[in-house]
Structure 1
Amino acid sequence: MSDTALLNVTVGPFAFKARLERQKAPQTCAAFLSLLPFANQAIHSRWSGEAVWVPLGEFKFGVGFENHTCHPSRGDILLYPGGHSETELLFAYGSSSFASKMGALAGNHFLTLVEGQAQLEDMGRMVLWQGAQPIRVQRI
């Protein structure tokens, strides 16, 4: 897979394309790719602002921090590999400051949306008001 590889990301009825950040987060990308196709439930964030998240409990990806941030941009997808809080994915659809009940968190920015950004606000609003939505990430 090339450095510009794209993945399909769907949340409920919303479809996006995301670029792997292989140069900046190679270990996180490799670990996540090994799980594809990935399917779970996205719920609205509790502490992180305009974001949805996928709680993964005690699951270990076997990666440390790389290309990590507390302030994802709209359309960034982060992996928090665990530690102070549970392992999780965070998908920012607007203003977000990544946090948990333990305080600020930094997650590995490993996916960036390149198509579908105009749907982000509607996706976030749907998850907020209608509840958990299926999320799926797969190769194109």
Structure 2
Amino acid sequence: MDTLIVTIGDLTFNARLEEKLAPKTSAVMRDLLPYTGKLVHVRWSGEGVWIPLGDTKFGVDYENHTSHPAPGHMILYPGGISETELLLAYGGVDFSSKMGQLAGNHFLTLTSNLDALPEVGRRCLWEGAQDIRIEAA
């Protein structure tokens, strides 16, 4: 069950869980499916959208972590220096917070409709929070 469907507003993307590279984080996401939330535009990191999760603890440490996710990569920051969050890169991202540089676990990769990613960023920036749903394919 590593194939997922990610729906953001009326845009749909196929995705895969990075189960070999981030097995614990992928297992957390599998347990949350179907996951729904709201995406908002990032504040410090560049061309990304995020789901703030406050003090939520998922019990995972760093695995397959990066500060520079590529467009279509979703990362989980497990908390610590800043609040827990999910971040989806739609362009260039230098993942950070007001506390400085962060790294998150790359656990999900969008595999289709990547040309629509800039529209996700535009909508979050200019139209406000966007609904997101992640579910098994």
TM-score, normalising length: structure 1:
0.96
- Equivalenced residue count is 137
Aligned to 2:11: 14
Match of 1:92 among 77, 89, 92: 89
**Residue segments in structure 1 that go unaligned for 5+ positions in a row:** none
RMSD: 0.7
After the TM superposition, which parts of structure 1 deviate over 6 Å for at least 4 consecutive aligned residues? none
Q: Does 1:65 align with 2:66?
A: no
Aligned to 1:43: 40
Q: Does 1:102 align with 2:99?
A: yes
Please state how far the C-alpha of 1:11 moved relative to its aligned partner: 1.2
Q: What amino acid is aligned across from residue 32 of structure 1 in structure 2?
A: M
Match of 1:135 among 118, 123, 132: 132
1:101-134 Cα deviation digits (max 9, x unpaired): 1111100000011111010011111111000011
Q: What amino acid is aligned across from residue 44 of structure 1 in structure 2?
A: H
Query: In structure 1, the residue corresponding to 2:32 is in which secondary structure?
Result: coil
**Residue segments in structure 2 that go unaligned for 5+ positions in a row:** none
| Percent of residue pairs identical | 56
TM-score, normalising length: structure 2:
0.98
- CA distance in 2: counterparts of 1:100 and 1:13, whole angstroms: 29
